[in-house]
Copies of this chain bind each other. A is one copy, B any other.
Amino acid sequence: VSTSERRRNRRGEGERLRAEIVAGAAALLEETGSEEAVTLRGVARRVGIAAPSIYGHFADTDEILQAVIGQAFGVLDEALQRAEDESTEEDRLVAVCLAYVRFARQKPHVYRVMFGRHRSTEGAAVNRTRPVDELSGAQAFERLVAAVCARTERPPGAGSLRDATVLWVALHGYVSLQTAVPAFPWPPADDMVETLIARFLGGFGPEL
């Protein structure tokens, strides 16, 4: 995302601007730390285009944010997959959890928007529980479930859904609070992740 002069895209490559807009909005969000700073005109300035040029690709600012969120879920999933691939079954859970925490710490404000907005319109029905695999982030969550199963040496099932939920909740609480209240005396991230896993999967953490 540079500030240098923009060259108009060639014919047939108009879709490139779409990607630039998403990248610009993500950068703007992460830099300012404020969702309110992500305005249509603000994004246009950041990308280096005239404001109306956005309408060719997005109907409104919310659509841009949705695209930012969607892309971020993809990046998160890739990070978890890499952690999966580069770990043994034994240390997979730690690796996946650390990758999750690292993702959240690298893009704290994008992360906050991913998991901090009330998304009541997700799917058709409101006030209705849906299967996990229909929600955004489903793939990432499934990786966590798989890593839990690898660690507890149990087959996937309702129990591992519960286990993964408990662990997810703890990881999310950790990274969110660390971003929001940096002045709190947090333990080092590795320690914290290990402790969370040990405690919430029924083992004993260090120093307990």
Q: In the docked arrangement, what's the CA distance between A132 and B186, Å?
A: 10
Minimum CB distance partner of A122 in chain B: B183
Contact across chains for A180 and B132 when beta carbons are under 8 A apart: no
Contact across chains for B116 and A116 when beta carbons are under 8 A apart: yes
Q: What chain B residues lie within 8 Å of A127 (beta carbons)?
A: 182
Contact across chains for B116 and A176 when beta carbons are under 8 A apart: yes
A179 within 8 A of B: yes
Q: What chain B residues lie within 8 Å of A200 (beta carbons)?
A: 170, 196, 199-200
**A110-147, CB < 8 A from B:** 112, 115-120, 122-123, 127-132, 134-135
A201 within 8 A of B: yes
Contact of A174 among B117, B131, B169 (CB under 8 A): B169
**A66-119, CB < 8 A from B:** 108, 112, 115-119
Number of copies: 2
| A21 CB, nearest partner CB in chain B, Å | 21
A184 within 8 A of B: yes
Given contacts A115-B180, A200-B199, contact A207 B122 (CB under 8 A): no
Q: In the docked arrangement, what's the CA distance between A181 and B120, Å?
A: 8
A166 within 8 A of B: yes
Contact of A120 among B130, B159, B182 (CB under 8 A): B182
Q: What chain B residues lie within 8 Å of A52 (beta carbons)?
A: none
Contact of A170 among B123, B170, B184, B201 (CB under 8 A): B170
Which chain A residues have a beta carbon within 8 Å of chain B's beta carbons? 33, 35-36, 108, 112, 115-120, 122-123, 127-132, 134-135, 158-159, 161-163, 165-166, 168-174, 176-177, 179-187, 195-196, 199-205, 207-208
With A122-B183, A162-B195, A199-B199 given, name 15 new contacts (CB 8 A).
A115-B181, A116-B176, A117-B180, A129-B183, A130-B185, A131-B185, A135-B181, A162-B187, A162-B208, A166-B195, A169-B170, A169-B196, A170-B173, A196-B200, A199-B200
